[in-house]
Amino acid sequence: MRAVKSRWLINMLNDLLALMADGRFHSGERLGAQMGVSRAAIWKVLSRLEKQGFPIQRVRGKGYRIPPNAVLLDLPKIRASLPESLKDVWEWHVSQQIDSTNAQAQRLLQLDGPKRLICLSEQQLAGRGRRGRVWASPFAQNIYLSVVEPFEGGAQALEGLSLVVGLALVEALEEAGYRGCNLKWPNDVLLEGKKLAGILVELSGDFTAECLVVIGVGVNVLMRNESSELDQPWTSLLMSGQKQELDRNRLIAGFLSHLAESLRLFKREGFAPFVTRWEHRDAWRNRAVRVIAGDLVQEGVSRGVTARGALRLVSTQGETHINGGEVSLRLNDAS
């Protein structure tokens, strides 16, 4: 958030949102009295946040209201919500503003060497998804997270990894009370048919032996304004209207718990144990689709995934297995 630069302003925002986290209306006068500042100062801070698209409701005579638990990132709160076995697994890096968490993770690995770490940010200025697509990243509204995890066996041992990450995210959201979350091969999470989250997996180190994997995850939580940067239908947890958990700190902890458990199994047995669970949430299974790879377009019916995470595409020529990478999956317009 370019407008939020000073530590004083960040601290004020944190305290202000904490006071408003009950989801009720609060008058500017009362908020100012509680924080020891003027009503005008409260208006100024909330207006700056509102310009970034933060979901603030204002009603004359009542004051301001935000969604329940729409608070800033809080590392102690995230760690307190994790199982004891995960509290000290990662080195943590939390930023207010950054180009992208994946890029920050890569820089830290180059600077300090191999390690397990997590990068979080309130905002990304150059967030990106697969194939270089822009990922809209407004301040304090979504989850922008990267996890660095070591793997043995090189790139071949990573087949199906992005699918495992997506499944862990969907299962964490289901645990938080959200219904209607599904998976779109190979890297997207959909909610009620619209894009909710995306995954970007990048490698660092030796691609043939032991390597480090940077797992980037972006989840739309509080975002609600239309964005010209987005080229497909999208939604957020807030827009779903399901009125479940919106505290990004608890959502992050829940996802990391599911991810850690899934990665332990994936390292031992690969993607095969996840096939049934993934297909149960496959949004486009048994639907006519197009697979686009550069100038090559293949059409057929999606029949789920293989034990290695490849898409099973069935056409009049038979069954073809499509691996992830620089490919795009679209519903066939005729379906």
User: For strand 91-95 and strand 188-191, is the pairing parallel, antiparallel, or unpaired?
Assistant: unpaired
Residue 90 half-sphere exposure toward CB, CA atoms < 13 A: 25
- Say if residues 309 and 320 touch (Cβ distance below 8 Å): no
- Say if residues 119 and 183 touch (Cβ distance below 8 Å): no
Tell me how far the alpha carbon of residue 77 is from its chain's centroid.
18
Q: What are phi and psi of 215, to 5 degrees?
A: -100, 105
Instruction: Collapse the DSSP code of 218 into the 3-class scheme (helix H, G, I; strand E, B; otherwise coil) and give the result.
Output: strand
How many angstroms separate the CA atoms of 34 and 11, rounded? Answer: 14
How many angstroms separate the CA atoms of 269 and 130, rounded? Answer: 26
- Say if residues 227 and 213 touch (Cβ distance below 8 Å): no
**Is residue 204 within a helix (H) or strand (E), and if so which, with residue range?**
strand 194-205
**Is residue 24 within a helix (H) or strand (E), and if so which, with residue range?**
none
Whole-Å CA distances, 324 to 73, 205, 230, 259: 32, 20, 22, 20
List, edge to edge, every strand of the sheet that includes 288-293.
318-322, 311-315, 296-305, 288-293, 328-331
Q: List, by residue number, the catalytic residues.
A: 130, 195, 330
Burial class (CB in 10 A: 0-12, 13-18, 19+), 132: exposed
- Say if residues 136 and 231 touch (Cβ distance below 8 Å): no
User: For strand 328-331 and strand 318-322, is the pairing parallel, antiparallel, or unpaired?
Assistant: unpaired
